[in-house]
Structure 1
Amino acid sequence: MTHHAAHWLWDAPVVLAATPIGNLSDATDRLKQLISTADLIACEDTRSTGRLIQSLAVSTDAQLISLHEHNEASRSAELVDRAAAGERILVVSDAGMPAVSDPGHRLVSAAVEAGVPVTAAPGASAVTTALALSGLATAQFTFGGFFPRKQSEQTALITRLQSEEWTTVLFESPHRVTATVELLSAELGEDRQAAVARELTKKYEEILRGSLGELHAELARRQAASRIKGEFVLVLAGTSGNAGEEELSLEEAAGLVVERSQRSGQRLKAVAKELAATTPYSASELYDAATRVIPR
């Protein structure tokens, strides 16, 4: 187990910092300060980061160096050595938090292995923003990154999603999103609830909510009119959103409340409220029945 004292981490030589995902006003004061004091800024794209620094009107003497999926493995050792030698290194991606479906995780691993302290300056995240706006259950969720390109990987993910009880967040490109939602609708059922978020925090931000079948129809209509633009985040309801669970008896549903509560550590009342959205029973009915299963 690796541990560093908290007072080291506030001033750690390697800092991962979130950058705005659309709205420039989401840049934090801490991000601006880190840019101005860094000796070196490791960027997913030096041109994008250069434009961001210019837009934020922050002056810096930092060297900008590329850190992307193709060179991260080889460059991480060099960056860790420079941090160990006393340089202040800031790590940023084009948008959002580095290392979350973006470069950064190999560098963190290398720093941890070398005993070089690392910390993060939190901020905007497309994952949690889309999740919060989806209208779907948020107590438990999983993030799957970009929807896979290879058919074998798609099949493996869809097999998992068929029994996944947690809400799932996925990224997708504008030219593939319609086909992906069509595939998910065919494999997971067109009644599975979902949300499609585009242009988050930007002027044309939009959240489409509904069943996969409804969302595919709307995206297909827009694609035909050449109106599919922007970055997309897909949010899928877990299997508890399927109609099959509505056939549970009250006793069976109460047993499910107890089982999930014990497994997740959540209170019965919180689990009952979640399941109430996907069963014919109210939260109070589920809670009362669950308390009869576990005398309180």
Structure 2
Amino acid sequence: MSGKLVLVPTPIDETNPLEGVAHALLLKAATDELENSIFVIEDLKPGRRRWLSWKLPREVVEDFVLFNEHTSEKLAPDLIKKLKSGHNIYLMSDGGLPAFCDPGQNLVKLCHEQNIKVTATPFQNSISLAIALSGIDHNKFLFAGFLPIKDPERALAMDEIVGNKITTVLMDTPYRLKKLLEELENKIDKKRNVFLAMDLNSENEELLFGPVKQIRSKLKEFKREFILVLAP
């Protein structure tokens, strides 16, 4: 059984404490589950300093894996193998949200392609979190917000969004999720991928990646809080 990739957002100011759920998860991973845990950081020196300031086990820092723009291409395949063998990987950046505008994005993408679970500890901005969890390139992206409710405004907005050649983030009310997926399936190329993040950071969190038809076939409950990321 495969492990999972966990994005662990950290304070931008390293003098601030780590969020409580993230701290408890890392502490458990570094003690009870150490044998199956891999800790991946962006920069060794600040990464170690932050870890120790949060009073997490000192002995773990010697085994940190350095993953940044210089090492990501070489290390990503090995990390995927570790995940497939049952290890859990905890990905942290120097400060902020990992995989959002940093090399972790490609690792997330590879996980989706290999059907490896990706999740994250709590983060306060659902839009940024959905983008990071998507693994979709987002050096440039459009936040389209909530679509108009009625036609012709809704149809016109959808045509404009579908015609965009950049990553686009969409939102709508839970009871219009089914309608939105039907509209997208009728308008976009069948091979164009979307990422659907539902009930983020909750016990019912569900993340789906792939063509719209595939996502619709996997959904059992359509009335969900969601954010949708449309790939270019």
After TM superposition, the score normalised by the length of structure 2 is 0.48
Structure with bigger RCO (C-alpha 8 Å, 6+ apart): 2
- Greater share of helix: 1
After TM superposition, the score normalised by the length of structure 1 is 0.39
